[in-house]
Amino acid sequence: MNVRGIGRVVVVAMALTVPLGAQLLSAPGADAASVTTLYYSSSDAPDYVAQIDQGAANWNAAVTDVKLVKRDSSATIVIHETNDGQGSYTNTDGHGNGQIYLDSTQVAEGYDVTRIAAHEIGHNLGLPDDYTGPCSELMSGHGPGTSCKNEKPSAQEAATVQRNFANGFAPATAVRTFR
Ligand SMILES: [Zn+2]
């Protein structure tokens, strides 16, 4: 089976188990001081460092509850470059822990690299695929085709991520691999 396109992903453990105390202390979106910092590494995707940084920057510009920072040591979002023609994808828990694989074959087909990176990061921020969605969404992935160059989340996508991290949403302790 050769699944292609941006993102075969299974987001594991979407259920939000927020400690009761945390719920009481912080209403969603009400606490501007609650920022979750997630560290990502792009050193294993040397051809796409600039595009990955731009994809992360686009998320940082759209949300305030979570912040993506590049740092190799102890990064919980680790981005790799592959060329197996399988399409780009991520294994993630949807809580800021994941391995992202950017497929150079897919890039050669004309898909926008920054869009791919931002899409896969979106999974790591808890968003599911929406292949039938418009180009204005990141999570429509390969759906709108190679002509789609949108590299920024839609307002709705940003709002969902904002909500996902509104209570601090601490990263899970273990990466669960699950395609
Ligand atoms: Zn995807």
| CATH code, domain carrying 118 | 3.40.390.10
Distance 171 CA to ligand 1 centre (A): 20
* pLDDT reading at 23 higher than 60: no
Output the pLDDT for position 9.
53
Do the domain assignments include residue 16?
Answer: no
Do the domain assignments include residue 45?
Answer: yes
Output the pLDDT for position 172.
43
Distance 89 CA to ligand 1 centre (A): 6
Under 8 Å between Cβ of 80 and 45:
yes
Do the domain assignments include residue 23?
Answer: no
Do the domain assignments include residue 116?
Answer: yes
Output the pLDDT for position 171.
45
Distance 105 CA to ligand 1 centre (A): 16
Do the domain assignments include residue 79?
Answer: yes
Do the domain assignments include residue 96?
Answer: yes
Report the domain count for the chain.
1
Output the pLDDT for position 167.
79
Under 8 Å between Cβ of 104 and 136:
no
Output the pLDDT for position 21.
42
Active-site positions read 120
Percent over 70 (pLDDT), the chain: 75
Distance 131 CA to ligand 1 centre (A): 8
Q: Any idea what DSSP says for residue 127?
A: P
Region 136-148: mean pLDDT is 97
Domain that holds residue 48: 35-164
Cβ–Cβ contacts within 10 Å for residue 98, how many?
28
Region 11-32: mean pLDDT is 44
* pLDDT reading at 148 higher than 90: yes
Do the domain assignments include residue 71?
Answer: yes
Burial of 179 (0-12, 13-18, 19+ CB in 10 A): exposed
- Tell me the two tokens of residue 133: 């969605």
In this structure, the strands spanning 89-92 and 77-82 are unpaired
Q: Can you tell me the distance from the alpha carbon of 85 to that of 103, in angstroms, rounded to the nearest whole number? A: 6
Do the domain assignments include residue 68?
Answer: yes
